[in-house]
């Protein structure tokens, strides 16, 4: 299954009334989630994040089905992002959605990234706590995120006085922040013997 076919599969799965719905409802959202797994503070077992993002069960890893093909396509995307961030981080580009008039819509990608953060809140707390300097690494991402009630994740004090202008350009800082996060976590995440 190609990444584009995965998007079609996710769309069908999200519309079904009988199967578990995926947390990731678009390729952009899945791309954000995969990026958070790659650039995050800890290695995660594939079933730990793939199952909620795709709405599949751990047993789906064991059978040659469409669900397994979706899992494989997701893990191939993981490998591609990992390879890019490891070898040519300056070429990393998030897969952002576009509005009807062609503008970048960073919200789905950012919500996917945030969904992974929520799976491992404690691990992410070192850069997500309100009083840490490193929270700045998350600002362009969290700026686009909302809670289940649709309220912004960031308090007004962190959203800034230039919010309308920042809203138009914050997405441009995401690739740099992803690489900075990856570098920040690397000494912790990849300790020898851990």
- Count CB neighbours of 150 within 10 A: 6
The length of the chain, given as a count of residues: 194
pLDDT tens digit string along 76-134?
999 999 999 999 999 999 999 998 998 889 999 999 999 999 999 999 988 877 677 77
- The verdict on residue 193 lying in a domain is no
Q: In this structure, is the dihedral angle defined by the CA atoms of residues 140, 108, 67 and 60, taken in order, positive or negative?
A: positive
- Does residue 172 contact residue 165 with C-beta atoms inside 8 Å? no
State yes or no: pLDDT of 194 exceeds 60. Answer: no
41-52 pLDDT per residue, tens? 999 999 999 999
* Within-domain flag for 191: no
The answer, yes or no, to whether residue 18 has pLDDT greater than 80, is: no
- The neighbour count for residue 164, using CB atoms within 10 Å, is 8
Q: Is 102 helix (H, G, I), strand (E, B) or coil?
A: coil
How many folded domains does the chain comprise?
1
Is position 192 within any domain?
Answer: no
Domain presence at residue 62: yes
| Global pTM value | 0.90
Give the closest residue to 72 by CA, choosing from 11, 129, 150, 5: 5
Could you tell me the CATH number of the domain that includes residue 112? 1.20.120.740
**Residue 171, in any domain of the structure:** yes
136 in a domain, yes or no?
yes
d(CA 183, CA 175): 13
> CA dihedral in degrees (95, 97, 102, 103; nearest 10)?
-90
Helices then strands (H, E): number in the chain? Answer: 10, 2
Question: How far is it, in rounded angstroms, from Cα 13 to Cα 131?
Answer: 40
Give the H/E segment covering residue 97. strand 97-98
pLDDT at residue 193 above 60? no
SS3 assignment, position 150: coil
Burial class (CB in 10 A: 0-12, 13-18, 19+), 100: exposed
| Rounded Cα–Cα distance for residues 172 and 63 (Å) | 40
pLDDT at 68 over 80: yes
Range of the domain at 75: 3-186
6 pLDDT more than 60: yes
Residue 29 located in a structural domain: yes
């Amino acid at each position: 299954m190609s990444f584009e076919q995965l998007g079609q599969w996710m769309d069908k799965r999200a519309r079904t009334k009988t199967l578990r719905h995926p947390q990731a409802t678009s390729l952009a959202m899945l791309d954000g989630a995969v990026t958070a797994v790659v650039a995050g503070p800890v290695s995660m077992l594939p079933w730990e994040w793939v199952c909620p993002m795709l709405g599949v069960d751990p047993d789906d890893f064991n059978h040659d089905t469409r669900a397994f093909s979706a899992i494989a396509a997701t893990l191939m995307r993981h490998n591609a992002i990992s390879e890019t961030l490891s070898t040519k981080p300056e070429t990393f580009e998030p897969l952002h959605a576009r509005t009807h008039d062609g503008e970048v819509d960073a919200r789905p990608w950012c919500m996917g990234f945030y969904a992974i953060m929520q799976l491992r809140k404690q691990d992410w707390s070192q850069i997500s706590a309100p009083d840490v300097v490193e929270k700045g690494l998350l600002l362009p991402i969290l700026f686009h995120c909302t809670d289940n009630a649709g309220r912004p994740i960031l308090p007004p004090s962190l959203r800034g006085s230039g919010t309308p202008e920042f809203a138009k350009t914050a997405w441009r800082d995401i690739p740099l922040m992803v690489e900075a996060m990856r570098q920040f976590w690397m000494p912790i995440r990849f300790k020898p013997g851990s």
